[in-house]
Structure 1
Amino acid sequence: MMKRKYKKLQMDKYGRVLCAVLLTVYFIFALTQSNAFKGEMFNALKVQHEKNESIHKGWEKSVDFKADYADLQRLEMSIINPRGSAAEGTMRFWITDQGKKVMWQEDVPMSRLAEAKFHKGIRGTVITIKKQLQKGNDYTLHLRVLEGSESQGITLKSKNITIYYNGFNVKKYVMLLASVLALFILIFIPNRLNEKWNLWLSRGMFLITPVFCYVLMERFTSVSLKYIGIKYGLLNLLIYAAVLAFFYLITNRTRWASILSILCTSGLGIANYYVTSFRGTSLMPVDFATIGTAANVATQYEYDVNTAVLWNGVLILAFVILAVRLQCGKGIRGKKRFVPAAVFGVLLAVCVSVFGSTARLSRLGIHIKVWNPTVSCNKYGYMNVFTSSVKFLITEKPEGYSAEKVDEIMKPYVEKAEKHNQKAAGKKPNVITIMNEAFSDLSVLGDIKTNKDFMPFIRGLKENSVKGTMYMSSYGGQTANSEFEFLTGSSMAFLPGGSVAYQYQVKDTMGSLATTMEGQGYQGNMVLHPYLSNGYNREKVYPLLGFKDYLSIGDFQNPEVCRSFITDQEDFNKITSEYEKAKQKSSAPFFMFNVTIQNHGGYEKDYSNFNQEIKITDTSSNPSANRYLSLIKKTDDAFKNLISYFKKVKEPTVIVMFGDHQPKLPQEFYNKVMDKENGSALENEQKKHQVPFIIWANYDIKEEEIKAISPNYLSAKLLKVIGGKMTPYECFLQDLYTKYPVVTGSVYMDKKYNLFNIDNLDDLPEDLKQYWMVQYYHLFAKDKREDSLFFLKE
């Protein structure tokens, strides 16, 4: 008995020391995170008005307020405006101090007045102020309609006008630090509870652990539990209960099962918080295959935390300290160990049954948006979506698939390819293809005014060029999927949502643009990527796609760097030097695939080696967006130099350049620049998936402006432009393009440019189902595959 008591005292002592160390470390960390409490603060000003009060000429309101902070940024209000952009008249906003002095004034056209629809991300009427006030002083905000008829039906919806400041919330910062210090009391207060109370409290904490984990995770994602609702909340709790049962099964201690469950939840929550911040989409099971690639660029990002994450740290420490201080009883022994095993087995079986079945999830009202899982996480809860996404690791086989069916689909294209290749032009131009990192034109999102054009050369390049807009599967990341689609003619539509083809699906040789070029006598057949070579499993995949050489960052000597990345100018200089080396060895036409790095994400901070030329001059101005557009200007300059070089080359040469995806920029930038009132939600969402592409030649080709295409068609389009030979599969893609010019991971577009979501592959049009079959055959048939469909005949 004494020995047991002494052991408990020792455990309590060591536990308190460990908790004290953790608290000290966290307190020091919290002290350094004052920036989390800097930013937007708001004050809702109540406006006295009648219900549905009409706004017309002569209408006037005023509201007094005290300046909580000095840096007043903007005001927001919600106004019902049936006429929208056709509304006539002007409303004046102005602020006066106590002495009636006008501190700020702006006249706003009535056509700019809008209703807030927060569920659609529409903020309503936003008026930029940016005025320094005297903190603590009293001011008055005035509104007056100078012109505008009553018949327009414009009414004030807001009960409040919200004003926003930039400031530092000292009160909340001090409260956080005080809470951490208060936890030290929990460590040093003697546990005088008797064994019975210790046991019951410990069991109580064990039972509420799933609830605590659920609340903790949704706080990391900043989602309201009320928004998720009871039904989906219970499903989340089921998963956390299964995790808890698993840890209890292996530890046989309620204390350690609770602590391990919370630590795992916290680790996953923090990882998801940063992945969502950097990439714009939530962390899913498929992302764990690309941990190495993520680590390569991890140093380029700012690892800031928000107040929710900091308070989560306090909650986690409080729970762990209480769990450690309480004296839990002995674990279950002997045959009774079967009980937790049975409980875990039942919970696991239920989870597999529910979350492993798309049909059951559908009956529960859960429909996962695999290419934008963040939307689903906000609606159903993170663990529901994360667990449901495990099944997406397995590539679905098309219904009715067989090698014979593929032969039947491809038979007319075998004949078509033979006829085409007999007539293929004798001219074989050099071909340089460039997938430019995060290269895009942000003006597709909305009207952006800048101090000067950030893409003047590419916009003005019209002669001997084919240009247009390309819809990408990816947004903010997963570069490798864009190159996979371009090189192989495959679409991410038919692969598990969120997966990276180079990691999961490409395990054997595949026909690609590289094999097609080699099959008609091209030399080079190399990849140039001025960064680490191991990203996205490229070292293993490129040989399977037919590339003979792979140049990466180690092949550059003292390169020019912008931020921490090799510049596009340095990259393009390497292209010309490799071209010259190849021509010294052989007169055969040259082919290269280049993946740049200059514009990679991490736009949050300034660098001494980065001169920012471009600034947004309207209300959508954002530091990260300014830095990004300045990088695009550098790309435009470098591309101009590359084109100038090959204009002087006598050999016919074709250069292709396209972006792999748009960048992930701060949400406030999108809120300001995107007009979500116009166009469908799908059309607005797809604006973030549009990038420019260009095919340029130093000889006469037919100029063309293409409204829409996706990367799976671009290599076939290139072969058509150069008059090159094609495989039956490339002929198949050319034909499919005329019917469905866009097929990405999330949408397809018909020939009338109507967009459709891809929610269920079985509901696709028949032509796209055939595409699915042919792609599955290409990727997975292996020894049974008829290679002549995807490779040129020798």
Structure 2
Amino acid sequence: MKAVFSKIGGFFKSLGNKWSAVKSRIPTPKFVQKIRENERLQKINDWLNRYSLIEHIPLSLIMCFVMEWLSRHSFIEAWGFVTNHTGAYLYNSYLIFVCYSLCYLISRQTFMRMCISAVFVALGITNCIILLNRVTPFGFTDISMIGDLLTMQNTNYFTSQQAAISVVALLLYTLWMVRIFIKGKKLKPRFPYWVKLLFIVGCFASVPVTTSTLQGQGVLSCYFGNLAQGYLDYGYLYGFSTSIFNRGMSEPKNYDQESISAIVDETKQGASTIKEEDRPNIVVILLESFFDVSEANFIETSEDPIPYVHYLEQNFSTGHLTVPVVGAGTCNSEFEVLTGMSCRFFGPGEYPQKTILKKTDCESFAGDLRNLGYSSHVVHNNGGNFYSRANAFSMMGFDTFQSKEMLDITDYTPLGSWPTDDILTPATTEAMDSTEGPDFVYTITVEAHGDYPTYKVIENPAIGVTCEGKTQEQTYAWEYYINQIHNVDEFIQSYIEELSKRDEDTLVIMFGDHLPTMGLTESEVATGDLFQTKYFTWNNFGMSKEDQDLTSYQLVSEYLNRLGIHEGTMTNYHQSKIAAGVRAGTPEYMTDLEALQYDILYGKRYAYNGEDKYPATDLEMGVSDVVIDRAYFFDGKLHIYGSNFTKWSKVYVNGEKVTTNYESGQCLTIKASAVQNGDTITVCQVGSSNTIFRESNEFTVVDPNYVSDTPGSAEQPDEDDLEADDESSQN
């Protein structure tokens, strides 16, 4: 090991010598010479090194301010954090000060200080860039999504230019740090090493004590319902730190088999009473960022933007829904709705689907309803790996998942940021047709997703919008958003009309996952609560209208109860508490819920007698086979014809992915030079990180000059093929 470090040191030393030789030929600017010769500056530098502990105090305060400035994109708002949240600002600065204490581990303190400063600046810049493209600040869980980020180049999240700038900046800074390490001055120790080590340990040991004290005094919070607002109120560094250290659930007090068994026994509702022939299809629809703007006191519209939703509210059960997030964090509302569990017991900003569900299967309504013969499906017009959904839905016990990679998406929102939701209607019916018996379908929309442009996009909007007390830019954003939810309203109507044609009993539950990212305040919404969205329902079998406000973890359990379905531990728990009139969020409700949730996710599963009652399923991506029917060479390309191709279809030649052009849902093309006589091709539906979700049949290619009558081989095109290919290219 010593020899390795010696070689590394020699390498950097040789680089330093080469740089010195080059630098000696470059004339030194006069102002640089004056700085070097300035004895006063040298004395100041020596004083700072001698009293670095004092230096770290203002440096920490400045660094904290810079990070907040970058995160808020505003000097004034950063200063507002200093003045309005002084305690939190000082605490965040203290965390930086503690980190600077690591400088005393080595004699090259300037080098170490620069490294530590680089980490904080990098965190600030990363959060700054991320918040230009989304509303959720940078957290530790995002690090696990770097692979997805790198595959999303040239999107509203990450461009190739940003990638290039990041790489160049990192390279330049690394070279600069190498120079500092080589040329940096070694300081003579003023204190024994054990004294410095004791000081460092003391600094880090004081952090949890200080944190706990400030949390108890209300200066800091242990839970962020709105992750973005939590970062703003308590500081970026504290928010990021909690996403690292405060994850998962802690074991509740008095957790044991006896207490869990008592909870299960006390809340058991008995066997399901619904008859087999009466079991309806159950469809749950997550409506991205859906908000009934009639509940905003500053918005006027030229007409009702969501008339069909209001028709549903007048004729079917509805109510307000308390969700765990505001402005972002869709998958946490999703988690609560699908499992009946609460995100309040996890760390601030934690996404259980990206933490505990990475390694643990989980009871959900998909698994509960399987006991009654239901098949379960997910339909979504966004990526299958986003929020680790493909893995999470497997852990939750779903059977199939139609993500965007399986859908032939052609229509997008006016900005081109997101697919429109109309593709979800045929995808849902296709999923329901793929199995026998009743279906549980979870549909996720994206059309109303932010960001919302602060400039004019729609020249002749269907819905005119005026906003009292808002700027023109804010009004443009609301105009765009409201016209998007107007489209969503039309989608809901066509979706339900299609379901009604099936002549099958069906219950549809629709809910908004969170309010939109529009800077809403509590005083601007009718409920006075930014954590409340709406849910509304539809059914075609005469379920009575009973309006009720619920939480997202109660929603599905309540409607299963109305159907006479009592399958599942969480289902029984919520049904018993609602029936007893216990209000959600109270200690009486949440204490036992926390214990039960811990037992299922982290504990010994006493609720299941120690068994793995809800194992993960072998989730099938898509419900229809991707098929290659024929292929032929023409105009320097191999034209591949088949069915169920999408923009995420990629051709693999002998197992190696090649550049693929999407022509239509029935045609793909690759360069003729990419294949040779006898090669085998397949078409794969590829998600982020090159995940292959589904694969077609194998197909053998022959030389373009060789015509074969053998089925399953490429052949020369006839006139009909050429005409069809020309037509698909034009479309």
Whether the 8 Å CA contact 1:438–1:663 is kept in 2: the answer is yes
Residue aligning to 2:210:
354
Is the alpha carbon distance of 1:692 and 1:185 closer, same or farther for their aligned partners in structure 2, counting shifts above 3 Å? farther
In the TM superposition, what whole-angstrom CA distance separates every residue of 1:262-297 from its partner, at most 9, and x where no partner exists? 222222223334555666565444554555567777
Q: How far did 1:211 drift?
A: 3.4
Give how far 1:578 is off: 2.7
Tell me the distance in 2 between the aligned counterparts of 1:214 and 1:623.
Answer: 34
8 Å Cα contact 2:374-2:440 kept in structure 1: yes
**Whole-angstrom distance in 2 between the partners of 1:624 and 1:589:** 41
- Any idea what SS the aligned residue of 1:531 has? coil
Of 595, 606, 615, the residue aligned with 1:773 is 595
Residues 368-767 of structure 1: pairs in structure 2 closer than 5 A: 368-372=222-226, 381-384=235-238, 386-387=240-241, 390-414=244-268, 416-418=269-271, 421-422=272-273, 424=275, 426-462=277-313, 465-506=316-357, 507-523=359-375, 525-562=376-413, 563-582=416-435, 586=436, 588-604=437-453, 612-619=461-468, 620=470, 622-665=475-518, 667=519, 670=520, 675=523, 684=528, 686=529, 688-706=530-548, 708-738=549-579, 743=584, 748=585, 764-767=586-589
Please state how far the C-alpha of 1:497 moved relative to its aligned partner: 2.5
Contact map agreement 1:369 1:375 (CA 8 A) in 2: no
**CA distance in 2: counterparts of 1:769 and 1:272, whole angstroms:** 35
Q: Are 1:272 and 2:127 an aligned pair?
A: yes
2:65 to 215, 220, 223: 215
User: Does the residue aligned with 1:461 lie in a helix, a strand or coil?
Assistant: helix
Whichever residue aligns with residue 257 of structure 1, its letter is M
Mapped partners of 1:185, 1:604: distance in 2: 49
Matched, 1:260 2:106: no
Deviation of 1:698 after TM superposition, in Å, equals 1.9
Q: Deviations over 1:24-57 (max 9, x none)?
A: xxxxxxxxxxxxxxxxxxxxxxxxxxxxxxxxxx
Which residue identity is paired with 1:726?
E
Give the match's secondary structure for 2:559. helix
Q: 1:200 aligns with which of 43, 46, 60?
A: 46
Partners of 1:604 and 1:787 lie apart in 2 by 53
Query: Is the 8 Å Cα contact of residues 614 and 627 (structure 1) preserved in structure 2?
Result: no
For residues 610 and 15 of structure 1, do their structure 2 counterparts lie closer, same or farther at Cα, with a shift above 3 Å needed? Answer: farther
Seen in structure 2, the aligned counterparts of structure 1 residues 398 and 275 have a Cα distance that, compared at 3 Å, is farther
Distance in 2 of aligned mates of 1:470 and 1:662: 11
Structure 2 CA distance, aligned partners of 1:537 and 1:502? 7
3-state SS of 2:442 partner: strand
What CA distance in whole angstroms lies between the structure 2 residues aligned with 1:486 and 1:391?
26
SS at match of 1:598: coil
Gapped runs of 5+ residues in structure 1?
Answer: 21-183, 304-312, 749-763
- Give the Å deviation of 1:190: 5.4
User: Could you tell me how far 1:704 is from its partner in structure 2?
Assistant: 2.4
Matches within 5 A, 1:36-435: 191-193=36-38, 197=43, 199-200=45-46, 203=49, 207=56, 208-220=58-70, 221=72, 222-224=77-79, 227=83, 234-247=90-103, 249=105, 252-274=107-129, 282-289=137-144, 299-300=155-156, 329-332=185-188, 338=194, 340-355=196-211, 358-359=212-213, 361-362=215-216, 365-372=219-226, 381-384=235-238, 386-387=240-241, 390-414=244-268, 416-418=269-271, 421-422=272-273, 424=275, 426-435=277-286
Count the aligned residue pairs.
567
The answer on whether the counterparts of 1:436 and 1:657 sit within 8 Å (CA) in structure 2 is yes
CA pair 334-435 structure 1, distance change in 2 beyond 3 A:
same
Segments of 5+ residues of structure 2 without an aligned counterpart are: 1-12, 160-168, 615-731
Q: CA RMSD in A?
A: 4.2
TM-score, normalised with respect to structure 2: 0.68
Equivalents in 2 of 1:451, 1:7: separation in Å?
Answer: 70
Deviation at 1:219, TM superposition (A): 3.0
TM-score, length-normalised on structure 1? 0.63
SS state at 2:448 partner: coil
1:296 and 1:532 in contact (8 A); partners too = no
The residue identity in structure 2 corresponding to 1:191 is R
Cα pair 2:604 2:610 within 8 Å, conserved:
no
The aligned counterpart of 2:7 is none
In structure 2, the CA distance between the partners of 1:557 and 1:230, relative to structure 1 (3 Å rule), is closer
SS at 1:484 equivalent = helix
Inter-CA distance 328–441: structure 2 relative to 1 (3 Å threshold): same
378-387 or 596-605, which deviates more: 378-387
C-alpha contact 1:515 1:791 (8 A) present in aligned 2 = no
Identity %: 20
**Contact (CA 8 Å) 2:248, 2:356: kept in 1 or not?**
no
**Deviation, structure 1 residue 463:** 7.0
**Distance between the aligned counterparts of 1:16 and 1:427, measured in 2?**
89
CA offset digits 1:124-173 (Å, max 9, x no partner): xxxxxxxxxxxxxxxxxxxxxxxxxxxxxxxxxxxxxxxxxxxxxxxxxx
Return the offset for 1:465: 2.2
Amino acid at match of 2:539: A
SS at 1:527 equivalent: strand
Change (3 A) 1:719 1:199: same
- The structural deviation recorded for 1:473 is 0.4
Specify whether residues 192 and 334 from structure 1 end up closer, same or farther in structure 2 by C-alpha distance, changes over 3 A only.
closer
Secondary structure (helix, strand or coil) at the match of 1:617 reads strand
Query: Partners of 1:16 and 1:186 in 2: how far apart?
Result: 18
Structure 2 distance, partners of 1:399, 1:786, is: 20
